[in-house]
Amino acid sequence: MLSILLNIIRIDVVLELVSFAICVFISLSFLRAYLRLGSSTLALLSAGFGLMGGAMLVRALTIGAAFFGLFGRELGRSLTPYLFQVELLYSVVRVTAYLFFVLAYVLHPAFRREAQAAVVPPAVLLIYNPAFELMSVVVLAYVVAASTYNWVRSGSKGSVSVAAGFWALLLSHLLFALTPLNILLYFAGHTAQLLSLLLILWGALEAMRG
Amino acid sequence: MRKAYRSRVRIYYDILNAVLSQGHAKITVIMRDANLPYDRLQKYLEELAEKGLLARHPDDPSLFYVTEKGLRFVEEFQRFARLARAFGLEI
């Protein structure tokens, strides 16, 4: 039983680290653009992806250390409060990252008047664990709606990949939320998260290529 | 209808683009194409000159031209504006 758990944790840590690497790449691309132009839109996107990546790295390292390193011999009840704190921190930082995306869409939408009429306001007051996945869905819904609206309205290069990426990110949180039904949903969630970041990365590269 | 907000960097781009479209441009043309009043445009022209993005023509100081650095700024702005547009955002 313990070996199955450790294998699940191992896959979890590896997937989280891959997602972290993609987030860092996207964040650094936006940071570079921000440093060149000084636009707050780019700073908000960089901060959002940077926070996402930071949360993923901290979670992967602490969970990895807990199960395979420093605390490996003491696996059990003594770890529970420690893991709970890590998960809580991870959840708060991830929701904060999504709020940066929401802020970018609220402050710098490409279609200001129409977007305000078409998109439901973000539920920013719902930040609290343990319903993190569902909270993320609520917050991300705004980002998904705005990016989809942008794709439909402008059809600009890369917009379809970005919108699909945010949809996949939303799906990943729904799958994570449904994990108690089946552990496979957890990995499906991770796969959706990875796919979402790859789509966003692809969209960004496609847009910059022109 | 309320005017859309333009960031400082967007205004820089609009001014440089107005000059670029003419090759060399007088302040009245820039005012019209960048949609800026005279006093605000003067301030931005000084800022752009200080940053080395725009300069006065040596033979005719009433004409402005975009420097090499300014050209690079315009190219980068266009590239990153496409990136922001893919997300449905404005720079």
Q: Please tell me the least confidently modeled range out of A96-100, A131-135, A155-159, B36-40.
A: A131-135
- The SS3 assignment for B26 reads strand
Kindly tell me if the per-residue pLDDT of B1 is higher than 60. Answer: no
pLDDT of residue A71: 57
pLDDT grade for A136, boundaries at 50, 70 and 90: confident
Q: Is residue B46 domain-resident? A: yes
Find the closest chain B residue to A165 by CA distance: B87
Q: What CATH number does residue B64 fall under?
A: 1.10.10.10
Cα B9 from Cα A80, distance rounded (Å): 50
Q: Which amino acid is at A27?
A: S
Let me know: does B19 contact B66? Beta carbons within 8 Å: yes
The pLDDT tens digits for A23-76 are 999 999 999 989 988 888 899 999 999 999 999 999 888 888 877 766 555 555
Chain B CB contacts of A37 below 8 Å: 9, 76-77, 80, 91
Number of H helices, E strands in chain B: 4, 3
> What stretch of H or E contains B75?
helix B68-86
How many structural domains are present in chain B? 1
**What mean pLDDT comes out for the span B1-12?**
77
Q: Which of A39, A115, A206 sits opposite B7 (nearest CB)?
A: A39
**Which residue of chain A has the CA closest to B74?**
A37
Do B80 and A149 make contact, defined as CB atoms within 8 angstroms? no
Is residue A160 scored above 80 in pLDDT? Answer: yes
Domain for residue B66, yes or no?
A: yes
Residue A91 has pLDDT above 60, yes or no: yes
More confident residue, A64 or A163: A163
**What is the average per-residue pLDDT within B65-80?**
94
Distance CA B4, CA B17 (A): 18
pLDDT above 50: residue B43 = yes
ipTM above 0.85, yes or no: no
Domain assignment present for residue B33? The answer is yes
- Look-up: residue for tokens 């690079």? B72
* A176: confidence class by pLDDT, cuts 50, 70, 90: confident
Whether B38 is covered by a domain: the verdict is yes
Cβ(A129)–Cβ(A93) below 8 Å: no
Report if residue B1 sits inside a domain. no
Task: Identify the domain containing residue B70 by its residue range.
Answer: 8-86
